[in-house]
Structures are given as structure tokens and as C-alpha cells.
A and B are shown apart, each in its own frame.
Chain A
Amino acid sequence: MNKHQGFMALVIKGLMWIYSLITFSILIYMIYNSFRTRQDILSNTFGMPEKLNLNNFKKLFVNDHFYRYFLNSTVILVISLILITLLSSMTAYGIGRYKFKFRKFTRIYFLIGLMFPVQLGIVPIFLLMKSLNLIDSHASVILILSAGISMPVFMLTDFFANLPNEIYEAAIIDGAGEWKTFYKIMFPMAKPIVFSICIIMSVQVWNQFFMPLIFLQSEAYKTIPLIIVKYTKNLLSTMDLAMAASVLSTVPILIIFVIFSERILEGVATGGVKG
């Protein structure tokens, strides 16, 4: 059925090759330059490098404590993901499983968040966080990112609503309480959807720039995207470090992505249909 695609398909395939090659060249360009000295990049850009070495990475870890920012980003990511998963699956289960008066309204209420990103309300959020004394702490960023559960709730509500009633009834007859039914039986069944939610959200959280920019001001709390900006700001004097930091923030994630690519892409594809 998929044969005889014609000339057009060849052109598209060619374009896809070019696209992929550009992406690879950019990555290789970045990795290659991260092993070069600053003088070498600047004055001998296209010549053969004098020598390749690990000095840039050494400087990042020894002088600038790069692992600290890695840790900061990881803490924010892990806690946010746990909160998002927990809150959104419970909420979605409540809306999808039970019939009650304001059910439709509640569904729409949680959809509103899809229509405007949090940054529009940043002024009141900032004032709120200030009064809670949470400025310059990871808690503020984690709470704000975890509150954006519109998309996960939307995806999971349909799933829970479409589960056959018999499963729920059987569990209740077996003597499981509401809560136990949820986390022992219902939640495990939602695993594939939870997985795709985690993928989509983790990209958002890991690369989040706006919230950390506003709420994390002291050096010790900053996340990887913020620290990269610190190096790229004075490009001529810290270009080598910017290169190494870029590589460190990109390559590990890409390796994880390539290893799990099949599951991740599958998850994104199914997530997109619902969202």
C-alpha cells in the first residue's frame, strides 16, 4: 500500500535527511568545540585544532561547581514530576470515576489553565511568594510548576472515565476502600499515560527558564539553563565554558532519549491525540 510514492516522496525524504544532518552537525560542532581552548575557537576557528583536551570540563567542575546546578535542576525535576503525577492522577480519578453535580464544570475549570501559561499571572504569584517568604528557594519554582496540571488532568480524566465500571465494583466488593482501589488498582492501569505525561512535563520542567529566572536569584540555587546564560552573557571571555556547559546539559539527556526513544516517542504520540 505504501509503494509508488513517487517523486514527491523522494524530495521529502531528501529534506528529512538534510534536517537530520543539520541537527547532527550542530551537536557535533558543539561537542567538538567543547574540547578546544578559547583562543583556538576564536582565532583558529576553521583550522586544525592545536590540541583537544578536557580542560573546559575540569574548570567547570572544579572552579564553578557545575554539579551543584545539575543537582538543583534534578531536585526541581524529580519533586515536580512526583507532585504533578500524584495531583493530576488523583484529580483526574475524582472527576473521571465519580458522578457528581459540578462534574462538567470542574472539568472545564481545570482546562482553563491550558489557555494561558502561568507567566501571565506572574505579578500576583510573585507577590504571593514574597509574602510566603519563598523567593530564592526551590519550593517556589516547584510549587508553580506542579500547579500546571491542566494537560495531565485532561489526558487522565478520559482514561479513568472510560475504565469499565466492573473493575471498580469488584474492588469495592473485595473490601478495598476508595483510596486503596485508586492506588492499588486504578493508578497502575494508567501507567502508560502517566509515562507520556512524565516525558512531556519533564522536558518542560528541565528546560524551564522563566520561573527560575524570576524566583531563583542567588548563585547557589540556580538551575542549568540559568547558569548557561551566565556563561553566554560574556561570550568572548567564557565561550569555552559555555561550550562545555552546553554539552553537559544536552548530551546526557540526549543519550537517555536515544536509549528510551521508542517508548518516549510512543508516549508523545499517544499524548498528543488526547491533548
Chain B
Amino acid sequence: MLSFFKKRPYLLFIAPGFILYTILVIYPIAAAAVISLYRWNGIGPKTFVGFNNYIELFNNKDMVSQLWNALSHSLMIFILTVIFVIPVQIIMAYMIYSKVRGKSFFQVAIFSPQFISTPVIIFIFTLLLDANIGVVNKFLESIGQGHLTKPWLGIPEFGMYIVWIMISWAGMGVGMMFFVGAMKMVPVDCLESAYLDGAGFWKRLITIFLPQIKVTILNMVLISYIFGMTIFDFSYLLGGTSGGIERNVDVMSLFFYRMAFGDTNPLGGNISQNSMGMGTTIACVLFLMIFIIALIQLLIVYRKEE
């Protein structure tokens, strides 16, 4: 026995992490897939129903509309992030990489919202956007644009945009620092020759840096996608379990949470007869959507590297 491990010392190194990771990360996903084939509320009897939960999810009119609503909001976060946030992060990273004056100050100021927890962010933005005591309306009034004042949080159409603004404000710095790190890896002689060829400041960003940090950009796109699909805190805190007024801030994870744990409170309230079955079904659909995109991404990146 002892000599078995002596010959394979890696087993002892890997084992503790492997066991915990398998039990709490891999097993739950497999188990969720199994539960999704049953009709079950978590306590009562379990009936095997095959793929009926999936069929119900995609055919029941109410479920489809909730699914589509949540999915479109999740995708919206992802698309807005890719179109607006990632380019801004790259440009800011480029300025910091180029040692813009006040570099340390900018880094600290732009990164620091990362350390503010979500409930605090929601709380502060709720106050800022409040119709009566909000700073935003007050500001609009003071610059003579009083007609633009609105009860921002009371308008359903604005809900997801406000969520997106909060996420972007808090998350801007991390992506920016990732890009700074990637830019630092770009070989200097590459840059110097481009400089000698007369490529300007911005042209160097496009012709040298963007191709060199392509993998980081692709990774950030994937991270944004996973993030959009799994974002929970913001919608839950802003709109509660039901996802706000007319489910205006509902997202995929919240939809899943509502189905699995009921509409009112964590682990209580009106749980349906099939809460666990339907909840895990949504989780599995969500998992597949993430998995397929992640796989495509991996294939693209690995192809490039080979």
C-alpha cells in the first residue's frame, strides 16, 4: 500500500482537492441532470417522468414566456458588455499601459468599486436614482433640464439598463487590469519596429496590441457570457424573487431560483409540486447553453495556439 503511493506521489497531492471538487462541483451537476428527469418537490415522492420536464418548459405558454424574458435579459447584459464595456476597458488599459499621467490614481479609482458588495451598490444606486431624494434628478434640475427627471426605478423598461450600468461600474476595473496584464506581455521589439515604421499611438493599438491580446479578449467575451447567464444578486436585490415589476429585471439564474425555491422566500413560500424537477431542468438547460459556447470558445483558442 505504502509503496503504491510512493511510486505515485502525485496521487496524494491531488487527492484532497480532487475529492472536495468532485463532491461539491462535479457531482451536483450530474445529480441535477438526474433530478431533472423526475417530478419532485424535494420532500415528497419522486416520480420518473423522462424528458417531460423539458417538454413542459418549452411548451407551457407561461414557462416559455418567462424563459424567453429571462434569457433575453441575460443576453442583453452580455451583448451590451461586449459592445460597450470591453472596448472601453481595452482603451483605458491602453492608456494605463502607456503610463498616462495619474496612472496609479486611475487604476485605484477605477478598480475600487470591485470591493463594494452588491447590496451596497444596489442601495446607493436606489438612493441616487430615487424620484424625490435622488441626486440624479436633482442634478438634472440644477442644470435646467428639469423636464428629464423621472422616477428611474419605477419605469420597467429602464430596469435592465440600470442593472447593466451598476454591473459595468463595479466590474470595469477587473477587465481593465486583465488587459493591462496582457498588454505587458506584448514583446517590446514588436512595438519598436512598428513605431519606427511610423505607426501612431492609436494605430499601434489596432495593428499590434489587438491581435496580440486576442486570446484575452476572447476570454473576456466568454467570461461576460457566463456572467450574463449566471448573474443573480443584482436582479434578486432590485426586483425580489419575482424579478421586479412585470419581471422587468428577471434573468436566467433568478428564473431558476424562483422555480426551485419558490416565489416568496428562500426555502419557503409557494413551492410548486414539481419545484425541484423543474428547477433542475432550467439549471440543466442553462448549463448546456454555457457549455456549448465555452466549448466553441476553447476550440477557437486552441486552434489558434497550435
Residues of B within 8 A of A (CB): 8-14, 16-18, 20-21, 23-29, 31-32, 35, 42, 91-92, 95, 98-100, 104-120, 122-124, 126, 128, 132-133, 135, 138, 169, 172, 174, 177-182, 184-185, 191-192, 195, 200-202, 216, 219, 226, 230, 232-233, 237, 253, 256, 260-261, 266-267, 276, 279-280, 283, 286-287, 290-291, 294
Subset of 8 A-B contacts with CB under 8 Å: A91-B17, A125-B24, A147-B20, A147-B24, A153-B17, A217-B267, A228-B123, A250-B115
Partner of A232, one of B123, B128, B169, B286: B123
A-side contacts of B182, CB under 8 Å: 272-273
Residues of A within 8 A of B (CB): 1-2, 4-6, 8-9, 12-13, 16, 19-20, 22-24, 26-27, 29-30, 41-42, 45-46, 86-88, 90-91, 93-95, 97-98, 100, 106, 109-110, 112-113, 115-125, 127-128, 143-144, 146-150, 153, 178-179, 182, 203, 206-207, 209-210, 213-214, 217, 224-226, 228-229, 232, 235, 242, 246, 249-250, 253-254, 257-258, 261-262, 265, 268-273, 275
Partner of B105, one of A20, A118, A120, A269: A20
* Contact, CB under 8 Å: A232 / B119: yes
A-side contacts of B17, CB under 8 Å: 87-88, 90-91, 110, 149, 153
* Contact, CB under 8 Å: A272 / B177: yes
* Contact, CB under 8 Å: A125 / B28: yes
* Contact, CB under 8 Å: B112 / A23: yes
B-side contacts of A203, CB under 8 Å: 114-115
- SS class, residues of chain A in contact with chain B: helix
A175 to nearest B CB, angstroms? 15
B-side contacts of A120, CB under 8 Å: 28-29, 32, 230, 256, 283, 286-287
- SS class, residues of chain B in contact with chain A: helix
A-side contacts of B118, CB under 8 Å: 207, 209, 225
Partner of A229, one of B119, B124, B294: B119
Known: A178-B9, A207-B117. Contact between A29 and B178, CB under 8 A? no
Question: Which of B17, B20, B42, B126: most chain A Cβ within 10 A?
Answer: B17
* Contact, CB under 8 Å: A4 / B200: yes
* Contact, CB under 8 Å: B109 / A19: yes
A-side contacts of B180, CB under 8 Å: 269
B-side contacts of A87, CB under 8 Å: 16-17, 20-21
* Contact, CB under 8 Å: B123 / A119: no
* Contact, CB under 8 Å: A121 / B29: yes
* Contact, CB under 8 Å: A122 / B109: no
A-side contacts of B283, CB under 8 Å: 120-123
* Contact, CB under 8 Å: B14 / A115: no
* Contact, CB under 8 Å: B115 / A210: no
Partner of B109, one of A24, A113, A148: A24
State in angstroms the CA–CA spacing of A20 and B91 once bound together. 15
- Known A9-B100, A123-B28; further 5 A-B contacts with Cβ < 8 A: A120-B287, A207-B118, A229-B237, A268-B111, A272-B216
